[in-house]
Amino acid sequence: MAKKYSMIINLAKCIGCQACTVACKFQNNVPEGQFRTKTPANGLKGTYPNVSQYFVKEACQMCQKAPCVSVCPTKASYYNEDGVVLIDVDKCVGCKYCMTACPYDARFLNKETGAADKCTFCYELKVSNGEKPACVSTCVGGALMFGDLNDPLSEASQFLAKHKGEVRKPELGTHPNVYYIYEGVVK
């Protein structure tokens, strides 16, 4: 059965250490100054000493109806058999149409290859070997979960059954496969 890989980000557990940011860069050889994922601070609130803020991990949202895939003129952006949005670097001409279409600013033009680049869920290097993406396995606070939503017994499915997962910009109808849990976070 086809898989439906998904990432769940439990914001209350994220301390903003950027271990995911660094692990991703090492794993995927992302050029200097460019990021497939990063975790900026959000929602700074209150006055000292009663202040709060949280961190939101940003990366490709792995949309099931991905605007980048539909606009790509060469079919370089595609869904693989497990529902992961990937880029065939050989087919990409670097027209940046996908970058104008992505509502999450998840894509960039790789300085070294000239092709569009983004998070792959570490599909080729890790997930296809049964491992978890680099950011997930390195996360110190245990804020990241990864699994197959088509398997009701997976950690991801079990977690989402009990907690309210939100997707970014649901009004755009992109149906992301990355879920954010805001429980315990002052929005």
Partner 1 sequence: MDVIWGVSVDEVAWGGAIAFYLFLAGIAGGAFLTASMTDLFSKKQYPKVIQSGAYIAIVSIIVGLGLLVVDLGRPLSFWKLLLNVNMGSVMSIGVFIVSGFTALSVVYGVLVWLNAAAQKQIKITSANTEVAATSVGQGLQAFRKPVAGLGVLFSIGTATYTGFLLSAVTTNNFWHTPFMGIEGIPFLPILFLVSAISTGLAATLIGALNCGDLTTYKKIDIVLIILEIILIFILYLSVKPVFFTGSMAVLFWLGVVILGLMSPLLLSIYSLAKHKNVILPVCGMVVIGGFCLRYFVVYTGQLFK
- Enumerate binding residues for partner 1 (CB under 8 A): 16, 18, 21, 33, 35, 38-41, 55, 67, 70-76, 91-97, 99-103, 109-110, 113-116, 172, 174
Smaller CB separation from partner 1, 72 or 122: 72
Rg over alpha carbons for the chain, rounded to the nearest Å, is 16
Least Å from the CB of residue 88 to partner 1: 9
Instruction: Say how many residues make up the chain.
Output: 187
Whose structure tokens read 């970058």? 99
SS3 content of the chain, % helix, strand, coil (to 5): 20, 20, 55
Least Å from the CB of residue 176 to partner 1: 12
Smaller CB separation from partner 1, 111 or 163: 111
Whose structure tokens read 């065939």? 88
Smaller CB separation from partner 1, 75 or 163: 75
Least Å from the CB of residue 64 to partner 1: 14
Structure tokens at 42: 């959000």
Least Å from the CB of residue 78 to partner 1: 10
What are phi and psi for residue 68, nearest 5 degrees? -65, -40
Would you call 151 exposed, middle or buried from its count of C-beta atoms within 10 A (0-12, 13-18, 19+)?
middle
Smaller CB separation from partner 1, 113 or 150: 113
Smaller CB separation from partner 1, 71 or 149: 71
Least Å from the CB of residue 9 to partner 1: 16
Residue 140 to residue 21: CA distance in whole angstroms: 12
